[in-house]
Structure formats: C-alpha cells, structure tokens
A and B are shown apart, each in its own frame.
Chain A
C-alpha cells in the first residue's frame, strides 16, 4: 500500500468515517487522471490497483509498441510533455515511467484486485484482495482492453495451430516456425503483420472493416490534424450511430515517424497476403469473406472524407504543403477465400489457398473488451455491454472511464482522458453535493479496522449479497 493511501486510511479511521467519497478502480492513465482531479476538489478517495501502477502497460503489451500519439500531444491533468523529443512516440517503458511519476502522491493501493462491486444501501461496497471498502461513488477505470475479443469459431481451429492474442503476443521470435494468420486490420493487426513479414515470416492478414490513416499529412502528424480539425473533440452525443462508432477498429497507425503510412498497400509491398474478413473455420480450413474489395473501398472513401475535412479546416490557416490523396487500396485480383490451418493441408474447392507454408499460428487482433465481471449491478445491455451516458453509468454514483468514444472521439487516446476526467469528476462532485444530506444518516462506523488478515483493514462493512 502506498503511503498516502495508508495515511488516508488512518485519518479516516481516526475520524470514524466509514464511507469514502469515491473509490477508483484501476491506476492506469484514466484512473490516475480522475484521482488527480478528485484530489484537487478535496474529494476523499482511494485508487485500487490489481497490480502495479500502469499494470497492463507493464505486462500485457508487445515489445515494439509505441504510443500512436506524438509526445507533444501527450497530456494528463496537471501534466504536459516537456521532454526533448516532442515529435517522437513513447515506448511502453517510457509511458510506465511517466505514469509512475504521475502517480506519486496519489492514494493508490496496489496489488488490490477487485472481486465484487455492489450497491449496499446508499453506498457501493467494493470487495478486494486487500479488504472491503465502502464508497458513495465508484469510478470504473480498469481499462477498455482487459480481455481480448476472440470469435467463437476459434474453438474449431486445429489443435496443432498456436493461438495468440495481443495480450500475450510479444515479438516475432515468440512465434513458432510456419505461416502466420493475423486476424484484424486495426493498428494492432497491421503492426503485427508488418513486423512478422519483416522477420521473414509468411503472413496472411484477414481484413474486415478498417480505418485507414496516414501518419503524416501536409507537414503535420495526423493526430495533430485530428485535434486541429476538431475531429478528436467530436462528442459522443453528436455522433449518429454511437455503437458503430464505438466498435470501430483503431486507425491503422504506428508510432514511427519514419513510416509516412502503414496501410494494406505497404503490407502488400512487404509481402503480406491480404484476405477478406475471417468468417469461420471448417475442416481445418480458414474461410475468408469475399467482401474484401468493398471493405477496402469503404476505408478509402472514409479516408478521402477525412482528408477533405482536414483540408477544409486548413483553408484559412498558414501556408501548408499541398493537399494530397493516397493511392486506393490495391486488392489482389484473386484474394484468397480459404487457407489451410496446421498440418492438415486440406485441399479445398471453395477457393484458392495461399502461400506455400501452412499456418502454424493465428494471432487474433480482433479487438478488446473491458472486464466488469465483478460488477453486480443491473447496468448491462442484452449483449453484456455496460450501459452509460458519456461515462455516467445508469446507477447512482457509478462512473466509467477510458472506453472508446466514451465522451469524445479522443476518449481512447491518453490525451483524451483529461477532458473526460474533468466532465466525470464534475458530475461526480455534483452528485456528492446533492446526496450529502443522506451521507451522515447512512454512514456506518469502521467496524473492522484492525483485522488479523494481511492488509485486512476493511473500510466499512458491507451487506451480504442478496
């Protein structure tokens, strides 16, 4: 337990206050941003972290990963990048160091894994591996990328084919000899395909709906353009189909200024075979959609629309390099419709296979989802998604942070956390003020303050679940 949290415990215990104002779950950039703003408002809170600060960044990211945003845009409440490489892109280790420094003084309780969150009277009861806590408000900041999304037909992949997700892929050296099928054309999928083909592997990339974006455009980084043109600030409640927006894969970017564009064309040139969306696995054969051309046409159209919007935003600005348009995506004349998996080398008549090496590894770059399995509250829709209005969850005093397009297009970027955290903490502070009349009536005294369990100082006592 960090010292400030411990002090906060003692102070609160001495005052006999059983209920925290706020409990934040997760000490990544979102949770820490919220904590910084709560502290500024004098809101008594604790941040529970299952591992160390920036845990997922330490343990569940691939070696070559760099942030998709240039350093100069990286900011958090009370922090702005002031280093000597404003146009560079942070490595994961740099970000971990940054967040470690940023967390200094924050009331973070580390190695406290949350096991249950439920409503208990007028407060939330949070059970963790380091005691039970009560808080009037809870901010879920445990991350949008807690679990990989893998299609159900993955279970039909032959047993001799290794399957990896972005949470356990590290580098090409880790991948067994043989062909590799990378599924998904997000930033993640393209980066994997790129480094695998450069490492001499035979790579097929399955491509569904995707977001094509150049690294540089008219002399600026594309993320700078998204900010300048107001696109990164577009609000969730101004977007026509918010579910579609939230499901979009990440833009095809890599944090490398020597690569003007990482797209399907550059991968084709590097030797990657482009196939349609992976639709299923039958008799040891991966089956791809025949809709690849349209998926690429849609991405090309959307890229042109984005560049039109950027150009329009630049009309009255300073002189810039001329507008440019990128080559349409080159789709192979006969995209593969089937690919043998493992040693089976099944001959199929449903379409041409690819390559000479059978696939020995599949990497599912098919997206992530948050893990709220410990949240016991009626706040999920029929597909199991958390129901929230711009981060305000449909339960009193419950908030979420860090989900894609949560309040703005930039919500999934680190620099996007600040505005979201300000909105959320303002709403939360207002909620605390509105409900403070009931606080004294419902607060119970700390009853398990010095327990024999390790870290067993429980913060209040919770009702048994119904």
Chain B
C-alpha cells in the first residue's frame, strides 16, 4: 500500500515512528513515559496551567517551549471567561489525539490527506455538577465527533483510517475507559 508512485506527505515521519516502535519493543522500559502539567489558580474560576517537562525514553525531556492554557467559565456562569472551560479542554485533547492518529495512519497507509476537520459535541446536563439531581452524572452524557476528510482514498479506506486512529488513541482510551485517579493534598 505504501508503494504508491507519488510520494505521500502528510508531514508525519512514519519511518521514525516505526523505528521507535521497533526500538521500544526491544527496550520496553524506554517506552514508559510520564506526562505532567502544573497549575496555578488565578482568581474566581480562572486557572492557568502550563506544560513543559515530561519523562520518556529513560530520561527527563522537555517541550521546545512552555505552553500555557487558561481555563475559566463563560459569563453566563457569572465568570470572567478568561479561557475555555475545562470540559472543552477534554474535547481539545480528543480532537488533537484522533487527528494526529489519522495523519499518522494515513501516512503509513500511503494515503494523501488534503483536509481533516472535526466538529466535537458533548451534551452535558449541568444538574449533575450543581447537585440538583443525584441521578445525573457530572460529566458528558456522550461525545460525538464528526469528521470531514478530503483525501486521496475511497470512503471505505477513510473510514478505516478513522477507526484505526480510535483504536490507537490515548485520549479516546482515557475518555472511554476507567482510570484510577489519585488526588492528593500536600501540606
């Protein structure tokens, strides 16, 4: 499939990814990563969270720069709306993860992408977080992701791309499957 006459370029270095897969199969300890974020409450519902350092390949690693994210609530919640809501950040993470996966799988399968856009929707009944109805959960009722993909491939192959991306997606797994969460308070 990757032996197409015209070189496909989705900007993903698949050779490097496949090389890493091979190397990490032989050295599974190096595959153990730790992701980190550091947050500081600002005021009201506004919190600033930054990411820079992480652990992987057996040592401390760093992004090229620090990335800073503001989370807040919109004005209809009587907040100052200095950033997206934390639940929207979850959608940001899911969209980023699935789309990166689509690009990587497409590259590996020799499929040239022209555009990949997604609209995410997550209905949520805020009676849960407001404690109005104990039968309503706090989180999303569900999440819908609608992709529009223009690529040199059949509809069937595009569907297979999106399916494979979900199968290998970290954020899809984090959202769909239970995760043990420890929240600790340090004096």
CA A289 – CA B167 in complex, angstroms? 12
| Residue pair B163, A304 in contact (C-beta under 8 Å) | no
Chain B residues with CB under 8 A of A287: 177-178
Chain B residues with CB under 8 A of A289: 176-177
| Residue pair A349, B172 in contact (C-beta under 8 Å) | no
Contact status of A280 and B159, CB under 8 A, knowing A351-B137, A382-B28: no
| Residue pair B134, A291 in contact (C-beta under 8 Å) | no
| Chain B residue nearest to A348 in the complex (CB) | B137
Contact status of A290 and B175, CB under 8 A, knowing A298-B167, A350-B137: yes
Q: How far is the CB of A405 from chain B (nearest CB, A)?
A: 18
| Residue pair B159, A297 in contact (C-beta under 8 Å) | yes
Interface 0/1 of A300-341, CB less than 8 Å to B: 010010000000000000000000000000000010000000
Chain A residues with CB under 8 A of B15: none
| Residue pair B177, A349 in contact (C-beta under 8 Å) | no
Dominant secondary structure at the B interface: helix
| Chain A residue nearest to B128 in the complex (CB) | A349
| Chain A residue nearest to B141 in the complex (CB) | A334
Chain B residues with CB under 8 A of A277: 177
Contact status of A294 and B167, CB under 8 A, knowing A279-B177, A280-B178, A301-B156: yes
Say yes or no for A282: interface residue by CB 8 A criterion: yes
The residue among B142, B166, B177, B178 with the most chain A CB atoms within 10 A of its own CB is B178
Chain B residues with CB under 8 A of A301: 156, 159-160, 163
Using a Cβ–Cβ cut-off of 8 Å, how many residues does chain B contribute to the interface with A?
21
| Residue pair B136, A282 in contact (C-beta under 8 Å) | no
Say yes or no for A342: interface residue by CB 8 A criterion: no
Q: How far is the CB of B180 from chain A (nearest CB, A)?
A: 9
Contact status of A298 and B163, CB under 8 A, knowing A349-B135, A349-B137: yes
| Residue pair A294, B135 in contact (C-beta under 8 Å) | no
Q: How many A-B residue pairs have CB under 8 A?
A: 43
Contact status of A349 and B166, CB under 8 A, knowing A282-B178, A287-B178, A304-B156: no
| Residue pair A349, B178 in contact (C-beta under 8 Å) | no
Q: How far is the CB of B105 from chain A (nearest CB, A)?
A: 12
CA A248 – CA B126 in complex, angstroms? 41
Q: Which chain B residues in 108-123 approach chain A with CB under 8 Å?
A: none
| Chain B residue nearest to A209 in the complex (CB) | B167
Say yes or no for A390: interface residue by CB 8 A criterion: no
Say yes or no for B62: interface residue by CB 8 A criterion: no
CA A406 – CA B176 in complex, angstroms? 33
Chain B residues with CB under 8 A of A294: 163, 166-167, 172
| Residue pair A291, B177 in contact (C-beta under 8 Å) | yes
Determine which of A276, A282, A297, A334 lies in contact with B176 in the assembled complex, contact meaning CB atoms within 8 Å: A276
Chain A residues with CB under 8 A of B167: 294, 298
CA A382 – CA B26 in complex, angstroms? 10
| Chain B residue nearest to A294 in the complex (CB) | B166
| Residue pair B134, A349 in contact (C-beta under 8 Å) | yes
Determine which of A279, A297, A298, A349 lies in contact with B136 in the assembled complex, contact meaning CB atoms within 8 Å: A349
Q: How far is the CB of B44 from chain A (nearest CB, A)?
A: 27
Q: Which chain B residues in 138-152 approach chain A with CB under 8 Å?
A: 138, 142
Chain B residues with CB under 8 A of A350: 137
Q: How far is the CB of B173 from chain A (nearest CB, A)?
A: 8
Chain A residues with CB under 8 A of B175: 290
Q: How far is the CB of A97 from chain B (nearest CB, A)?
A: 43
Chain B residues with CB under 8 A of A280: 177-178
Chain A residues with CB under 8 A of B137: 349-351
Chain B residues with CB under 8 A of A279: 177-178
Determine which of B138, B164, B176 lies in contact with A349 in the assembled complex, contact meaning CB atoms within 8 Å: B138
The residue among A287, A298, A382 with the most chain B CB atoms within 10 A of its own CB is A298
| Chain A residue nearest to B139 in the complex (CB) | A350
Q: How far is the CB of B175 from chain A (nearest CB, A)?
A: 7
| Residue pair B135, A291 in contact (C-beta under 8 Å) | no
CA A291 – CA B138 in complex, angstroms? 20
Chain A residues with CB under 8 A of B128: 349
Q: How far is the CB of B50 from chain A (nearest CB, A)?
A: 30
Chain B residues with CB under 8 A of A291: 166, 172-173, 176-177
**A-B residue pairs in contact (CB < 8 Å), sample of 15:** A276-B176, A277-B177, A279-B177, A279-B178, A287-B178, A289-B177, A290-B176, A291-B166, A291-B173, A291-B177, A294-B166, A301-B163, A304-B156, A349-B128, A349-B138
- The interface of chain B, by Cβ under 8 A from chain A, is 28, 128, 134-138, 142, 156, 159-160, 163-164, 166-167, 172-173, 175-178
Beyond the given A289-B176, A289-B177, A298-B167, could you list 17 further A-B residue pairs with CB under 8 A, ordered by the A residue number?
A279-B177, A280-B178, A287-B178, A290-B176, A290-B177, A291-B166, A291-B177, A294-B172, A297-B163, A298-B163, A301-B160, A304-B156, A334-B142, A349-B128, A349-B136, A349-B138, A350-B137
7 closest Cβ pairs, A-B complex = A290-B176, A349-B137, A294-B166, A291-B176, A279-B177, A297-B163, A287-B178
